[in-house]
Amino acid sequence: MIRKTMAVAAVALAAVAVTGTAQARDQIRIVGSSTVYPFSTAVAEAFGKGGKFKTPVVESTGTGGGMRLFCSGVGENFPDITNASRRITASEFENCAKNGVTAITEVIVGFDGIVFINSKSGPKFTLTREQMYKATAKDVLVGGKLVPNPYKTWSDVDPSLPKEPILVYGPAPNHGTRDAYVELVLDPACEHQPEIKAMDKDAKKKACQTVREDGAWVEVSENYTVIQQKITSNPAAVGVITFSYLDQNADKVQAASVDGKVASFESIANGSYPVSRPLFFYVKKQHVAMIPGMKEYLAEFTSDKAWGKEGYLADKGLIASPDAQRKEQAANAKALNDMKM
């Protein structure tokens, strides 16, 4: 009986393995940023409902993880598109080229803002980037010297802030949102200080880009729901999340104003809200001829009914780029222009 079972199993496995390797992939595979994931999946679903192609498979791996998978080679075992909440870096681009991924098209999808939220039952924060830097950087300047961050409560940072202990839940380094936080909040607030300006590049990077490790900054490597749950259970805690998430949960959490500006669709699209960034996706051009439906997927994503001001992605929280830029990016996606670093 055992011999029989094993024989059946072996035959079944062999059959499965043969069919698995024999058929070429006929389904688009997308990886990358968890910030772009809600938009990418919405487009994938709409594209699949068209009925001509299979619905693309979208994995949420984080921008960095997505780049690694995307750049690891050409062929049906590697993803076709990667989403990113920041631009591809020079080293990632080189890594891509090294593995034969030489033709990449870059498309700017729209904009997203980073917001600082806390529970609606907690105090209302009015923050500046300067204050966020002072509250979350590992070392800060006190009397011209770099010392381990001495601030314990928000009122230590600035007397106008509430007398509550500093507790910030932020994305872990695998999120593009973290890179954007460093680039848009920590760097600008840190680098203009004369003592930091005088440092060399590496020391500057270390002084400005490291976050606290003493418990005041808590890293969350999962998705934004986890941050939101922590925030709701602790009214004085502040969370660093993306605007699209805030938009869906505006009844439970409130956003702090940053440098006097409140995050909204308008203030992010016109650039007056200081902590906003573009979102991207990258297309492996060598796969366009190999995987059916890639051109059509790009056309769906770059159509106004998807990423336009009143498109279905706007309902999911995407902030559309200005009309001229959308037009330019749609043409770029259609022509599949190679990107240059």
Partner 1 sequence: MTEMAQTDTAVRSMDAVAARLKSRYAAERRFRALGLGAILLSVAFLAILLGSIVQKGWTGFIQTQVAVAVTFDPQVIDPDGSRDPLALDTADYATLVRNGMAARLAPDADRNARRDLTGMVSTMATEQLRRMVVANPDIIGTTATVWVLASDKIDMVVKGQVPRQLGAAGNALNDRQLGWVAQLEQSGQVRTTFNTTFFTAGDSRAPEQAGIWGAVVGSFFSLAITLLVSFPLGVATAVYLEEFAPHNRWTDLIEVNINNLAAVPSVVFGLLGLAVFLNVFHLPRSSPLAGGLVLALICLPTIIIAGRAALKAVPPSIRQAAAGLGASPLQIVAHHVLPLAMPGMLTGTILGMARALGETAPLLMIGMVAFIVDIPKSPVDPSAVLPVQIYLWAGSPERAFVEKTSAAIMVLLLFLVSMNMVAIVLRKKFERRW
Given the complex with partner 1, which of 228 and 276 has the nearer CB atom?
228
Q: Taking the complex as a whole, how short is the minimal distance between the CB of residue 198 and partner 1, in angstroms?
A: 44
Closer to partner 1 by CB, 29 or 326: give it: 29
Q: Which is nearer to partner 1, 54 or 230 (CB)?
A: 54
| Nearer residue to partner 1 within complex by CB, 42 or 168 | 42
Q: How far is the CB of 44 from partner 1 (least distance, A)?
A: 7
Q: Which is nearer to partner 1, 44 or 294 (CB)?
A: 44
Q: Which is nearer to partner 1, 310 or 338 (CB)?
A: 310
* Helix (H), strand (E) at residue 114: strand 104-119
- Tokens in use for 265? 């669709």
Name which of 233, 152, 136, 226 is nearest 186 in CA terms: 136
The strand pairing partners of 255, in sequence order, are: 117
CB of 228 to partner 1, least distance (A): 9
User: Measured from the CB of residue 56, what is the shortest distance to partner 1 in angstroms?
Assistant: 8
CB of 5 to partner 1, least distance (A): 5
Q: What are the residues facing 179 on neighbouring strands?
A: none
Shorter beta-carbon distance to partner 1: residue 94 or 222: 222
- Residue among 245 and 282 whose Cβ is closer to partner 1: 245
Q: How far is the CB of 241 from partner 1 (least distance, A)?
A: 10
338 burial via Cβ count (<10 Å: 0-12, 13-18, 19+): exposed
Quote the least distance from Cβ 81 to partner 1, whole Å: 13
Nearest to 294 by CA among 90, 31, 56, 86: 56
Which residues would be at the binding site for partner 1 (CB under 8 A)? Answer: 2, 5-6, 8-9, 12-13, 16-17, 19-21, 23, 25, 27, 29, 37-38, 41-42, 44-45, 48-49, 54-55, 57-60, 77, 222-225, 244-245, 248-249, 251-252, 310, 316-317
The CB-of-138 to partner 1 minimum distance in angstroms stands at 29
Q: Both tokens of residue 330?
A: 């749609």
CA distance 334 to 295: 7
The Cα 289–Cα 334 span in angstroms is: 14
Q: Coil, helix or strand for 280?
A: strand
Distance in Å, CB of 96 to partner 1, minimum: 18
Query: CB neighbours (10 Å) of residue 158?
Result: 15
Q: Determine how β-strand 81-84 pairs with β-strand 276-284.
A: antiparallel
Angle subtended at Cα 186 by Cα 319 and Cα 149, rounded to the nearest 5 degrees:
140
Beta-carbon contacts of 48 under 8 Å, excluding residues fewer than 6 positions away, are: 54, 55, 56
Give the nearer residue to partner 1 in terms of CB position, either 61 or 149: 61
Answer for the pair 72, 255: CB distance below 8 angstroms, yes or no. Answer: no
CA distances from 234 to 18, 68, 173, 230, 239 (A): 54, 36, 23, 6, 10
What is the rounded distance in angstroms from the CA atom of residue 241 to the CA atom of residue 169?
9
Give, in order, the Cα–Cα distances in Å from 157 to each of 127, 152, 153, 166, 235. 11, 8, 7, 9, 19
